[in-house]
A and B are shown apart, each in its own frame.
Chain A
Amino acid sequence: MATSTRPSTPREEPVAPVRQPISTGSEWNFELIDQYYQEIKRIADEFGLDYYPNQLEIISAEQMMDAYASVGMPVMYNHWSFGKQFLSTQKNYQRGMMGLAYEIVINSNPCIAYLMEENTMTMQALVIAHASFGHNSFFKGNYLFRTWTEADAIIDYLVFAKRYIAECEARYGEDKVEELVDSCHALMNYGVDRYKRPQKLSLEKERARQAEREVYLQSQINDIWRTLPRRAEEAQADAPSRFPAEPQENILYFIEKFAPLLEPWQREIVRIIRKVAQYFYPQRQTQVMNEGWATFWHYTLMNKLYDEGKITDSAMFEFLHSHTSVIMQPGVDSPYYSGINPYALGFAMYRDIQRICTEPTDEDKRWFPDLIGKDWRKALDFAMRNFKDESFIAQYLSPRLIRDFRLFAILDDDENPQLKVSAIHDDAGYADIRSMLAAQYNLAHREPNIQIYDVNTRGDRSLTLRHFQHQRRPLANSVHEVLKHIARLWGFSVRLDSVDDKGEVVLSYECKMEKRGGFF
């Protein structure tokens, strides 16, 4: 059984299986999709995949573009930036610069996968295997998704969000809402809790709590900004202290709770965008793992279908054609190079784990003693459940893959006149490359580390943020624009200090707000 999933090795069965393909043409219809689904499901169950119930939806290319434009979600609030996204997708598609993705899959329960009507039957089968079983089981299994997203509630929540924002637009004007959403979008990456587990989303509770929350929030803010004389013991205690006492990483959360001038409805919108950001946070951290996992399973499931004679040779060729273009990894000197392809890396890594379990080399035995001789399905399942990109690579990137990809590291220090090759695929470099590549997928390294540091509660109410520099890396120029957005939300002047490794302020940015009402 195990070998039959690896068609790259020559097939050894003396008697070819009797080919009874489910279909022979490229046309699909509903019965065929159902038959394919049943077959793929049977095989997936044999492999022990655990997944949410599936919902397959047939859509047209235009609808696919619509879905694209609203970050893949079936429901989304309205905003011009989605219109921009739509226009550029449409342009690229019409020019033929880009085929549409074959599939979009939504982390919800039931798991919704879109099948485009233009796809051939083989492509539909591929999408079912990739999305409805690959991604689906990843959504259900991976710890990040389990911790951070509510597959049961997301669609309901988005319905609530869309309705709420539309209501605000009707009540306060499209422009005001748009400004606010613009500002929140600029801070979306800083609207997530990285460590704290968020509360469960639920449409009912959201609605019920929202009114309550408005009142409660307003009272909280009033408390910080209270101008009445404090009681004696408090007055003593707060002499040199900062507010907040500890730096806060979730800027949007802080604004939602403490920005002095926001109206309750504005706080609610900040919260909505924060929740949406939080929902997508795991996806940003598991690109390699998630796409790799889905690719691994479509490859495995489709090959099994072929081995059982359920699909024809030509269908298999069509499948392999698109599979190989999905996992193509151009080298850094290629004109097609645009970073490391998460599909390629992820797929190669899961395949590699499978290989190490079943046919380890001496090198593997030194590097992965734990994997040797294990059931590959269990090993893969463990890897899928308990890691994110960063830790996954740190744990499983093997020397053999480093050689296959010919990975090398370049050190770029602006104090040196030249770039330096700091590691290549040799004995001395494996460990370095592995840890460097892992760090490259660490979101905290990719994004500047910026936190809320202090609020001048006594004086001009200005907000101070701190950028903790990593390796002397400066901020991009867009910081000026973003500061304006923060100031718009905060309502008073905002300052950002860049702090170097020694804790000294090296650079300051400021966005002054003279008077209340400058923006809103």
Chain B
Amino acid sequence: MHHLIDRRLNGKNKSAVNRERFLKRFKSQIRDAVARSVKDRSITDIERGEKVSIPVRDINEPTLGHAQGGVWERVFPGNKEYLRGDGIDRPDGGGGGQGNGGSGNGGGGEDEFAFELSRDEFLNFFFEDLELPNLIKRQLRETITFKPQRAGYTSDGTPTNIHVLRSLRSALGRRIALTAEPLRELNEAQEDLDQLLETRDEHDPVVKAAMERIHGLKARLGSIPFIDPFDLKYSNRIRVPLPTTKAVMFCVMDVSGSMDENKKDIAKRFFILLYLFLTRVYEKIEVVFIRHHTQAFEVDEEEFFHARDTGGTVVSSALKLTRQIIEARYPSSDWNIYVAQASDGDNWDSDSPQCREIIANQLLPALQYYAYVEITEGEPQNLWYEYEMIAQTHAQFAMRRIKDPSEIWPVFRDLFSKHPEKAAA
């Protein structure tokens, strides 16, 4: 006798729980590994799942065992040249046994435990602890969105909302309540009748009266309906207003001639990171891409990251465009507005004070946060000094310098890590 069972349709993710526990247990190591693994690579790769490795010593499960030393006598297969009594020099490392009891199988000696994270898991680790600062604005728009939500049962409503179970339950209750009395009387009458019949003939008027009473009671019982409009219960749904937080992020990038390929690459990687972070953390966020040299243009995502053009630099052109777009489309009473700007710090000299003026007086009052990254190895130029003045007086203005690609991630983290005191400011 045997059974042949097809188990393929059973769930295959039996190990999911254990896998999750593993990730949870080694969270900090995995986070380090994730940070390490993105440091020097193209950021676009992040979109995929990721191979990470963590040190084996951290995840070892210790057991009691022997170390080398003492006397060991072991048997090995495949003797080619040795005779009894031959001496062999010890292999390097003082180890006496080439095979260690047969346990060191399959890639033994690896000191990294490598495994794959799915894309979601990876990004979770990647953006953990980061947030958009100051997301506290009022921005409840006049047209509030509603979300239907269950709220118990009512006794009236539309037929589509009839709750069958509840309705039948109350029908049952009603029937029990209404039939109890007639049923008891019926039983009594039945017993009376049985007693009467023992002594009397069935044409006797007393018996007839009893039979009529029984008949009447049965009719009464029969007239109690199985279900009554009174029994009907309806699922109740109410509409709950949903506060909507609306946010828009302006990505401003300098693509002038002084931004060489390397710097542009760093800037792009910074923005890709930012873009991934935003699309991941905030379901509803609008992103506006602005490229500028002497003139600024609003472009789409594709063009922002991939198009090439060059020219001189007038930073204020981009800031003006930003302001115009805010005024036209994103009134600051309704929107949380963020601006991130990347540049090499090069600017047309007399333009820089104007930039400061625009940011400090026109933009910042409408903004939640303004992040500026300067990608340069050289000395800070006038733009940096002008911006420093803004940073001293405005808490929601942040600026950092990036020298080489390895700093992108730390700076990014620094700009967007959760600072409770900053959020309060």
Beta-carbon nearest neighbor of A469 in chain B: B70
B66 near A478: Cβ-Cβ < 8 Å = no
CB pair A424 B82 closer than 8 Å: yes
Binds B, one of A10-18, A308-316, A380-388, A407-415: A407-415
Cα of A83 to Cα of B99 in the assembled complex, Å? 28
A54–B71 CB distance below 8 A: no
Write out the residue numbers on chain A whose beta carbons fall within 8 Å of the beta carbon of B20. Answer: 83
In the bound complex, CA of A453 to CA of B105 (Å) = 34
Q: Is the CB of B62 within 8 A of A186?
A: yes
Task: State whether B65 touches A447 (Cβ < 8 A).
Answer: yes
A-B contact pairs, 25 of them (CB 8 A): A37-B4, A56-B5, A66-B15, A69-B18, A80-B21, A83-B18, A88-B115, A185-B61, A332-B77, A338-B106, A338-B108, A405-B77, A408-B82, A410-B88, A411-B73, A418-B87, A419-B90, A420-B88, A421-B86, A421-B87, A423-B84, A424-B83, A470-B70, A473-B69, A474-B70
Interface string of B265-288 (1 = CB under 8 A from A): 000000000000000000000000
Q: Known: A407-B76, A419-B90, A429-B84. Is A56-B64 also a contact (CB below 8 A)? A: no
CA distance A424 to B86 in the complex (A): 10
Contacts of A423 in B (CB 8 A): 84
Counting CB contacts under 8 A, is A157 at the interface? no
Q: Given known contacts A63-B12, A94-B116, is B77 in contact with A407 (CB within 8 Å)?
A: yes
The answer to the question of A125 belonging to the interface, with a C-beta cut-off of 8 Å to chain B, is: no
**B interface footprint on A454-473 (CB within 8 Å = 1, 0 otherwise):** 00000000000000011111
Q: A91 vs B67: C-alpha distance in the bound complex, in angstroms?
A: 29
Are B18 and A474 closer than 8 Å at their CB atoms?
A: no
Known: A339-B102, A440-B75, A476-B67. 12 other contacts (CB 8 A): A41-B2, A62-B12, A87-B22, A92-B106, A338-B106, A408-B76, A418-B87, A419-B89, A421-B84, A424-B82, A433-B75, A471-B71
Q: How far is the CA of A418 from the CA of B90 in the complex (A)?
A: 6
Contact B65 A59 (CB under 8 A): no
Contact with B7, one of A63, A110, A471, A482 (Cβ below 8 angstroms): A63
Number of interface residues of A (CB under 8 A): 103
CA distance A358 to B194 in the complex (A): 93
Bound Cα distance from A469 to B96, whole angstroms? 18
B residues in contact with A94, CB < 8 Å = 116
The reply to whether the CB of A86 lies closer than 8 angstroms to some CB of chain B is yes
What per-residue 1/0 map shows which CB atoms of B105-138 lie under 8 Å from chain A? 1111000011110000000000000000000000
- The answer to whether A84 and B22 touch across the interface, beta carbons within 8 angstroms, is yes
B6 contacts which of A58, A65, A70, A469 (Cβ < 8 Å)? A58
A94, A433, A447, A476, most chain B CB atoms within 10 A: A476
Residue A340, interface by CB 8 Å? yes
* Per-position 1/0 for B308-346, Cβ under 8 A of A: 000000000000000000000000000000000000000
Report Cα–Cα, A158/B71, bound state, in Å: 41
List, in ascending order, chain B residues with CB within 8 A of A475's CB.
64-67
A27 to B379, alpha carbons, bound, how many Å? 71
Is B10 in contact with chain A by the CB < 8 A criterion? yes
Most buried by A among B5, B71, B79: B79
Determine whether the beta carbon of B2 is less than 8 Å from that of A54: yes
Q: Which of A329, A333, A414, A479 contacts B71 (CB 8 A)?
A: A414
Chain A nearest CB from B77 CB (Å) reads 5
In Å, the complex CA distance between A117 and B83 comes to 50
Residue of B nearest to A81 (CB): B61
Q: Which of B8, B17, B65, B104 contacts A78 (CB 8 A)?
A: B17
CB-nearest residue of chain A to B69: A474
Give A348 Cβ to nearest chain B Cβ, in Å: 11
- How many angstroms between the C-alpha atoms of A89 and B61 in the bound complex? 17
Chain A residues whose CB sits within 8 angstroms of the CB of B85 once the complex forms: 420-421
Smallest Cβ distance from B106 to chain A, in angstroms? 7
Q: Does A406 sit within 8 A of B, measured CB to CB?
A: yes
Interface string of A343-378 (1 = CB under 8 A from B): 000000000000000000000000000000000000
Cα A292 to Cα B200 in complex, Å, equals 93
- Chain A interface (Cβ within 8 Å of chain B)? 30, 33-34, 37, 41, 53-60, 62-63, 65-67, 69-70, 78-84, 86-88, 90-92, 94, 97-98, 110, 114, 117, 132, 174, 178, 182, 185-190, 329-334, 337-340, 405-414, 417-426, 428-429, 433, 436-437, 440, 446-448, 450, 469-479, 481-482, 485
Contact A59 B7 (CB under 8 A): yes
Given the known inter-chain contacts A86-B19, A91-B114, A472-B69, please indicate yes or no for A447 contacting B64, CB distance below 8 A.
Answer: yes
A60 touching B98 by the CB < 8 A rule? no
- Name the contact of B15 in the complex, choosing from A70, A428, A433, A473 (C-beta under 8 A): A70
Known: A62-B12, A91-B114. A409 touches B87 (CB 8 A): no
* Chain B nearest CB, measured from A50 CB (Å): 14
A-side contacts of B350, CB under 8 Å: none
**Given A70-B15, A412-B96, A90 contacting B106 (CB threshold 8 A):** no
Is B150 positioned at the interface, with any CB of A under 8 Å from its CB?
no
Contact among A58, A188, A437 for B4, CB-based, below 8 A: A58
Cβ B22 vs Cβ A55 within 8 A: no
Residues of chain A within 8 A (CB-CB) of B19 are: 83, 86-87
Is B243 interfacial (CB 8 A cutoff)? Answer: no
Q: Which residue on B lies nearest to A465, using beta carbons?
A: B64
- Name the contact of B67 in the complex, choosing from A41, A82, A405, A474 (C-beta under 8 A): A474
> Which residues of A lie under 8 Å from residue B10 when comparing CB positions?
59, 63
The list of the 9 closest CB pairs from A to B, nearest first, reads A331-B78, A339-B102, A412-B96, A83-B22, A472-B70, A83-B18, A473-B70, A481-B62, A471-B71
List chain A residues, Cβ under 8 A from B98. Answer: 332, 337
Contact indicator A178/B4 (Cβ below 8 Å): no
**B70 engages A471 (CB within 8 Å):** yes
Give Cα A47 to B195, complex, Å. Answer: 80
A426 to B10, CA, bound (A): 56
The CA-CA distance from A477 to B64 in the complex, in Å, is 9
> Any chain A CB within 8 A of the CB of B239?
no
- Given the complex of chains A and B, what is the CA–CA distance between A33 and B5 in angstroms? 11
Which residues of B sit under 8 angstroms from A338, Cβ to Cβ?
99, 102, 104-106, 108
Distance in Å: Cβ of B14 to nearest Cβ of chain A: 4
Q: Is B96 a contact partner of A419 (Cβ separation < 8 A)?
A: yes
Q: Is the CB–CB distance between B4 and A482 below 8 Å?
A: no
Tell yes or no: B101 within 8 A of A by CB: yes
Q: Which residues of A contact B72 (CB under 8 A)?
A: 411-413, 471, 473
Q: A116 vs B47: C-alpha distance in the bound complex, in angstroms?
A: 33
For the complex formed, measure the closest distance between the CB of B264 and the CB atoms of chain A, giving whole angstroms.
36
Q: Chain A residues near B4 (CB, 8 Å)?
A: 30, 33-34, 37, 56-58
Cα A71 to Cα B124 with chains together (Å): 30
How far does the alpha carbon of A148 sit from the alpha carbon of B195 in the complex, in Å? 73
- Whether the Cβ atoms of B86 and A82 lie closer than 8 Å is no
Report the minimum CB–CB distance from B98 to chain A (whole Å): 6
Contact with A along B33-71 (1 / 0, CB 8 A): 000000000000000000000000001111111111111
Q: When the two chains form the complex, which single residue of B6, B21, B66, B69 contacts A414, counting CB atoms closer than 8 Å?
A: B69
- By a CB distance below 8 angstroms, the chain A residues around B147 are none
Chain A residue numbers with a CB within 8 Å of B203 are none
| Contact present for B102 and A410 (CB under 8 Å) | no
Q: How far is the CB of A341 from chain B (nearest CB, A)?
A: 9
B74 close to chain A: CB less than 8 A: yes
Cα A53 to Cα B104 in complex, Å, equals: 36
B3 adjacent to chain A (CB < 8 Å)? yes
Q: Which A residues are CB-close (under 8 A) to B8?
A: 58-60, 63, 117
Give the residue name and chain of the A residue nearest to B8 (CB): A60
A65 to B15, CA, bound (A): 8
The answer for the CA separation of A417 and B88 in the assembled complex, in Å, is: 9
Which of A66, A406, A413 is within 8 Å of B78, CB to CB? A406
Complex Cα–Cα for A474 and B23 (A): 35
- The answer, yes or no, to whether B97 is at the interface (CB within 8 Å) is yes
Taking CB atoms, residues of chain B closer than 8 Å to A34 are 4
